[in-house]
Structure 1
Amino acid sequence: MTMAQITPQNEAGAVFALIIGIDDYLATEHFPPLRGAVNDARAFEQYLLDSHDRRGLNVPLPNILLIENRQATRENILSAFKSHLLENRNIPDRGDTAMIFFYAGHGTRTEAPGNLIAPDSKVEAISPVDEGTIDAEGNYVHPIPDNVLGWLLWELAAKKGSNITVIFDSCHSGGMGRDTGTPRARTSLSPPIPPDLDSHLWTGGTEIAICYRIWSPSTATHVLLAACREDETAQEVVLKDNSCRGRFTERLITLLRRLPLEHTTYADLVASLPIWSGQNPHCGGARRNHLVFNANHLWPGQKFLPLLPDASSDPSGLQTYSVDIGSVEGIVPGAEFTAFSGAKKPLCVLVAHSARVNRTILIKKGTERIDIPEGARVQISDWMNGGMILRVYITPNFPYEKELFTSTLASSQQRKHTFIRAPSVEEADILLRTEADEVVLEHLGGIMGESRFQRRFSLGEKGAHLPILVDGIAHFKYFLERHYSGVPFADFQLKMHRLRGEYPAREPDLGFGDGGNLIRNMQARFVPDKDACYGFTIRNTSNIDLFPYLFYFDPQKYTIQLWYAPPGKKIPPPLKSRGGELTIGMGGERAFKFWIPSGEKSSCGILKLFVSAKYLDLDWIQQTTSPLDSSFEGTGRLLAEHEPFDIGVEETWDALNVFLSLTADEDLAREVEATLKVSKSANSSGSTPEGSWKAH
């Protein structure tokens, strides 16, 4: 190809892709040649081009930009990303167009720039074809580090939408070799990356924030499909026709052609890959449970989980199944799940035989013989957990009494409520009454009841929405108050920092809080500042490596956002034992920002940190649409008359809550500011840091 072709064409479509494949590097003394990277890139392009009859995506050729070998220079890769994706006028702004960035070639892990906060002071990077050479201006050509790619992905998501898929078939793609003898990886011999390299990309830019007042971690921008973990090698294989391919890409394309993508999520796709020794592909990103190359969930508004055959068998000889959800989410023995085929057809009811921290074993309910096909999913139809019940008291003559307590759903949507009517105010969790044309919701019990939190909203003629709204509040309340009922097993701490410096070198400002930590007595109080950026540190002082999950609960909207989750199931625990730390919103990640909505004087929110010794898929806990919104479609529900079961799990986990409050009141603001700007010596007392959770 010629450089004139590295421009967007005037034909729009649902998919745009930038594909890069490099076999032959210019610095041959540092980069052993590969055999299958270009083949992988061409095969992926062909999959995109093929018609639906050939099990392809039928993408118009102008929507695909393929760069191979000598054309894949550092300058050309960055330029192509901007021209073909970021600045492409044929991709609608803030839409649902699928955008794919595919890379096959060498990967590397190199020293982080001195101004960048990074684990082990290392960054993952992809190697352009000219890495290790001297460019026309006499400058050394460095790899493209993950913080640069991350920034570009942030810009792309902010401008064009977050339906972005990143595919890496290279070693060290697990953080960001191949082997038939040549691994797609190398130990970097490059000099340290200069701190100001690529700074023109973000210099003069503005911070971006979204409607829930804080920008989430980088995994919110895209889904990553990686060939291997950071400590593994990506293998190449020789096919029957004697061609060489990357094992990951070859199997990935085979699955993409075979699986029904209209029913397949990214997580399903990677879970369907074979298990290889020394190479564990993984899927990361907040949207990993969305449909492949699609902006939507499998069945929007409802929580469906993949159903897998279980290798073990029940002593009675019954076929058992498993689902990746467990006691942390509130599953107890006896909970019921409805199984569905890919066409959303109900098949049968399954019952939880046992529930562990991250996995539940299911058996069929009843004796009728029903075949459950591959790719079936389940929805929780009856939690059988009395702890999830929200007790609702309504005042006399409440106008929506009939809709709330005698509502029925269409047979295709028969689910059970997570609330019951409370006989008195003293026995209620929430109270509902009306004032003028508004419904007033008052919290009486639990965390939000401590402050008698109230919310007002109008229903008008939409009284039928009230049961679904209350279900959403029950979901919010249950997971906000979810805690481990046994003795806490881990010492862990959540810190919140006001940051100083500029991207990608932001770090905690030690002049705010105790040693830079704003959390005191499990609370963080601060004042609005349009220039202030914030980040978090999770610290593990236990003897166990942990998987952390950070959620944000918005009590104004009853929404739940997942701000951090481990990259994937096959990745080692990211929070190491004995003092291991994990940072969020610092270094190469976008920082968090807070502000108060127009016309209001204060705002609040709650951070909830779960930790577990085992990987948990907690993505489905999210409630991204407010129950107060008429488009909210509800969550799984529960019949009230069932008795609760005991959990009885073997593994343990833990959780903590931190309350955030933001105020614009001038007098209180001065008080908060004075409290935050404490002396650096205030942390010398040797007391346990606030925001921590200590084992009893």
Structure 2
Amino acid sequence: MKQDIANSKRFGLKIHALLIGIDKYKEDPNNVATLAGCVNDCNDVKAWVDESFTFPHTMLLQNHEATRDAIIKQIGDIATSKYIDRGHPILIYFAGHGAQVEPLKEWELPSERNIQMCIPYDFSLKPIDGKGMGILDRDLSEAIAKVAKKKGDNIVVILDSCHSASGTRGEAEVNRAIKVPSDYAKSASLKKEDFSPSGDTMNCSRASSTTPTNHILLSACREDEWAKEKLFGKEKRGIFTQHLFTKLREAETESMTYGELILSLPLAEYQHPHCDAIDKDRIVFSLNHKRREFHSIDPPNQGNPRYLQLGAPHGVQKSDCFLLFKEDKFSSESCVGEGSVVDLKGFKSVLQVPQKSDPAFAVRTIQSPSISIIVPEEVLEPLPPWFLKLGVKLVTQADQTYEVLKLVKDENRVKFEFLNAEHSVAETHLHSWPLEKDSLVRLFHQMGHFYHHLHHTPGPILSIPVQVSIVLLKDMEPIDNSDTILSPSIPVKVLADDEPRYGFKVTNTSNEGIFFSLFYFGLRQFNIDALYNPPTVASGAPTACLAPNESKTIGYGNPGDEGFRFSLEESEESDVGYLRLFFSCQYLDFLHIRRSNLFHEERELSVSGRGLGKGRMSRNLPQQSIVSDSTPLTTGALTFPIVQLPESKMGGHLVCIHQPEGFLPPSV
């Protein structure tokens, strides 16, 4: 009986939901307008939670209950709740007014460095001694970071509010935003440093900060838009919430990612919701990702084109080729041929497929491999012919390819040795891998994918419009004069130790806006970790990640940030990885290229014990939206080698640039 009950719920067993809806405020309605749909939204979200989870635990805060102290306390209580185990889903929902706080004119800061805040019931336009304050974005970030530290990062934050006030409200639609006085920062006792990460008041904007890694953020609109509510039937509702939870009630959303969910909302007429998170490719309300090697193909629909869930913002161009599969696994039984892109449609592509093949998944082919692997004949023979299109060239003796590895049989497993590489890497034994055919195909594909995205330059670089620095941190604050500007292809040595923390800073040195994605490539495990990626927005004009001469801090600058650390396994004397920056003047979304550590995955080990250890990062971003036409993406890329060494080899330094001839390989 209990099993039947569990199976009847669509999204699982447990969830902890904190649902906040505020229509009426303590402040004069002439200053903070009364809303009509927030409590209705809150009640509908509760109904959805009850429908979707077997044992939901829900806390409602509505109208006068939703004071600033009560909201912060309830978020804090989640961290200590015995009801929620680590990894169980947590939902924090807010419907109400939002606002932006401008810096004081005498601070002479750029106007875009506003602080966003949610407006609680007891908000006052003139707070006294902290009473009547809004919930600043930094306060929300800090509270969520504490929850994530205790309960894990399966946290979804939904904000149906906005931060731009219009000053006028029509009868049909009401905006969920208020305008605060220009001197609100003074009455709220805010300081100049509050408007810049880590007190950097030069050119690091708080508004242009890092992608959340400890929660999923779903927001109703871009920062320059209004979250609206209107009449649906006989009751007022927030347009975003109404469409979002209508979609979540559809069966297909059980297998959707958060990014796909936002793209499915038909709201371009009103506002442009966005999804911001490093893990926006997770299946909704779970810790599971779709297999990143395989990209979904829409099912056939009465002769309509077959759409691939990958498009121009992902670097896809017309005539690109894809292997087609019935299932998301590498096997000859699943592979049904090859297709090509004939048109681009925003986040999708029109894929031409063989008749009667009916594929469900596609894997991008790599026409020019960047790696050769020397393999014995007995390993080469059983591999399927389509395998040759996955980015690895198998040979029986060394050739002049950019990278060469050698496969060595070890009973029923295989190991690999580096024979040569860009910086004369010496022999290095990697972890072993099963010898089964399908398992080897998966490994070879990841290796080909790794080297392709590490070495392939999407387009000619006429000039370099960005500058990347590594920053030393102490107590999560940048150490004075510790910025080390990285040079492409010139290695930087860092101390591999759990104690030192590092951050990165990306600066736009051009006179135009720049979009970028930042990844770490781990050479020993062929993993690709995402450090920064723009959010997904349903439609509309794109807003650049970096304005001209603006910087973005990654890994530091806000409560909850923990920076990055480098570490070695006990048997290692050194390791090497690569920082890889993709940039463009158009919107890009390269999150699909990241890959987990296959060796640790296969051995069921944790990935946090070596290489780059990622700290928590949780801050609001300027909202980017997708390219509205089918223009192919023109992208440049820069690579920065990072050598990780123990203290005995660092000569007392924490960061040191040295020339390629001094480049040290990873070794066992």
Gaps in structure 1 of 5+ consecutive residues: 1-11, 51-56, 200-215, 311-316, 633-647, 677-696
For 1:379, the equivalent position in structure 2 comes to: 362
For 2:55, the equivalent position in structure 1 comes to: 60
How is 1:586-625 mapped onto 2 (pairs within 5 angstroms)? 586-588=556-558, 590-599=561-570, 600-625=572-597
In 1, Cα distance between the equivalents of 2:444 and 2:576? 21
For 1:442, the equivalent position in structure 2 comes to: 417
* 1:151 counterpart = 2:123: no
Q: Post-superposition shift, 1:336?
A: 3.0
Q: What is the one-letter code of the residue matched to 2:24?
A: D
Aligned residues: 589
Whether the 8 Å contact between 2:120 and 2:134 is mirrored in structure 1 is yes
- Residue by residue over 1:144-178, the C-alpha shift from the partner in whole angstroms, topping out at 9 and shown as x without a partner, is 1122222222222232122211111001399xx98
Q: What is the one-letter code of the residue matched to 1:556?
A: R
- Residue by residue over 1:609-660, the C-alpha shift from the partner in whole angstroms, topping out at 9 and shown as x without a partner, is 001223233222111132464269xxxxxxxxxxxxxxx9854210001112
In 1, Cα distance between the equivalents of 2:65 and 2:579? 47
Change in Cα spacing, 1:282 to 1:183, as seen in structure 2 (3 Å) is same
For 2:14, the equivalent position in structure 1 comes to: 14
Identity %: 23
* 1:575 counterpart = 2:545: yes
Q: Post-superposition shift, 1:129?
A: 0.8
Find the partner of 1:166 among 139, 150, 157: 157
Find the partner of 2:321 among 294, 318, 335: 335
Runs of 4+ in 1 over 6 A off after TM superposition: 112-115, 341-350, 355-360, 413-416, 435-438, 460-464
Change in Cα spacing, 1:526 to 1:392, as seen in structure 2 (3 Å) is closer
Q: What is the one-letter code of the residue matched to 2:567?
A: I
For 1:280, the equivalent position in structure 2 comes to: 272
Q: Post-superposition shift, 1:60?
A: 3.5
- Residue by residue over 1:328-364, the C-alpha shift from the partner in whole angstroms, topping out at 9 and shown as x without a partner, is 7576625135376999998976732447797674343
Q: Post-superposition shift, 1:378?
A: 3.3
* 1:296 counterpart = 2:288: yes
How is 1:68-87 mapped onto 2 (pairs within 5 angstroms)? 68-83=62-77, 85-87=78-80
* 1:483 counterpart = 2:457: yes
For 1:42, the equivalent position in structure 2 comes to: 43
Change in Cα spacing, 1:343 to 1:178, as seen in structure 2 (3 Å) is farther
Q: SS at 2:528's partner residue?
A: strand
- Residue by residue over 1:10-64, the C-alpha shift from the partner in whole angstroms, topping out at 9 and shown as x without a partner, is xx942221100001111125311111111110111111113xxxxxx04435x01
In 1, Cα distance between the equivalents of 2:318 and 2:380? 27
Change in Cα spacing, 1:674 to 1:649, as seen in structure 2 (3 Å) is closer
Q: What is the one-letter code of the residue matched to 1:378?
A: F
* 1:406 counterpart = 2:382: yes
Q: SS at 1:121's partner residue?
A: coil
* 1:393 counterpart = 2:374: yes
Q: SS at 1:92's partner residue?
A: coil
Change in Cα spacing, 1:662 to 1:281, as seen in structure 2 (3 Å) is same
* 1:185 counterpart = 2:177: yes
In 2, Cα distance between the equivalents of 1:182 and 1:46? 24
Q: Post-superposition shift, 1:139?
A: 3.9
For 2:662, the equivalent position in structure 1 comes to: none
In 2, Cα distance between the equivalents of 1:674 and 1:47? 51
Q: SS at 1:388's partner residue?
A: coil
How is 1:473-552 mapped onto 2 (pairs within 5 angstroms)? 473-488=447-462, 491-499=465-473, 502=475, 506=477, 508-513=478-483, 517=485, 522-528=490-496, 531-552=499-520
* 1:666 counterpart = 2:654: no
Bigger drift between 13-22 and 537-546 goes to 537-546
In 1, Cα distance between the equivalents of 2:111 and 2:417? 45
* 1:102 counterpart = 2:93: yes
- Residue by residue over 1:171-226, the C-alpha shift from the partner in whole angstroms, topping out at 9 and shown as x without a partner, is 1399xx986454211123334455699x9xxxxxxxxxxxxxxxx95512121111
Q: What is the one-letter code of the residue matched to 2:361?
A: V
Change in Cα spacing, 1:630 to 1:416, as seen in structure 2 (3 Å) is farther
In 2, Cα distance between the equivalents of 1:40 and 1:248? 10
In 1, Cα distance between the equivalents of 2:49 and 2:76? 21
Change in Cα spacing, 1:152 to 1:454, as seen in structure 2 (3 Å) is same
Change in Cα spacing, 1:341 to 1:188, as seen in structure 2 (3 Å) is farther
* 1:468 counterpart = 2:439: no
Whether the 8 Å contact between 2:100 and 2:179 is mirrored in structure 1 is yes
Q: What is the one-letter code of the residue matched to 1:127?
A: I
Q: TM-score, structure 2 length as denominator?
A: 0.77
For 2:393, the equivalent position in structure 1 comes to: 420
In 2, Cα distance between the equivalents of 1:675 and 1:546? 28
Q: What is the one-letter code of the residue matched to 1:103?
A: F
Whether the 8 Å contact between 1:469 and 1:627 is mirrored in structure 2 is no
Whether the 8 Å contact between 2:90 and 2:155 is mirrored in structure 1 is yes
Q: Post-superposition shift, 1:277?
A: 3.2
Q: SS at 1:562's partner residue?
A: strand
Q: What is the one-letter code of the residue matched to 1:597?
A: L
Whether the 8 Å contact between 2:325 and 2:337 is mirrored in structure 1 is yes
- Residue by residue over 1:473-526, the C-alpha shift from the partner in whole angstroms, topping out at 9 and shown as x without a partner, is 2211111112134343652221221235x56xx3x434325xx54668743323
Q: Post-superposition shift, 1:308?
A: 9.4
Q: What is the one-letter code of the residue matched to 1:72?
A: A
For 2:9, the equivalent position in structure 1 comes to: none
Whether the 8 Å contact between 1:483 and 1:655 is mirrored in structure 2 is yes
In 2, Cα distance between the equivalents of 1:598 and 1:223? 31
Bigger drift between 532-541 and 14-23 goes to 532-541
Q: Post-superposition shift, 1:578?
A: 3.1
Provide the alpha-carbon RMSD of the alignment. Answer: 4.2
Find the partner of 1:226 among 199, 219, 223: 219
For 1:130, the equivalent position in structure 2 comes to: 122
Change in Cα spacing, 1:580 to 1:460, as seen in structure 2 (3 Å) is closer
Q: SS at 1:578's partner residue?
A: coil
* 1:451 counterpart = 2:425: yes
Whether the 8 Å contact between 1:354 and 1:360 is mirrored in structure 2 is no
In 2, Cα distance between the equivalents of 1:364 and 1:218? 35
Whether the 8 Å contact between 1:469 and 1:628 is mirrored in structure 2 is no
Q: TM-score, structure 1 length as denominator?
A: 0.74
Change in Cα spacing, 1:74 to 1:498, as seen in structure 2 (3 Å) is same
Whether the 8 Å contact between 2:575 and 2:644 is mirrored in structure 1 is yes
Whether the 8 Å contact between 1:357 and 1:652 is mirrored in structure 2 is no
* 1:268 counterpart = 2:268: no
How is 1:246-265 mapped onto 2 (pairs within 5 angstroms)? 246-265=238-257
In 2, Cα distance between the equivalents of 1:13 and 1:79? 25
Q: SS at 1:630's partner residue?
A: helix
Q: SS at 1:387's partner residue?
A: coil
In 2, Cα distance between the equivalents of 1:336 and 1:108? 46
Q: Post-superposition shift, 1:546?
A: 2.0
Whether the 8 Å contact between 1:430 and 1:441 is mirrored in structure 2 is no
For 1:636, the equivalent position in structure 2 comes to: none
For 1:638, the equivalent position in structure 2 comes to: none
Whether the 8 Å contact between 1:308 and 1:322 is mirrored in structure 2 is no
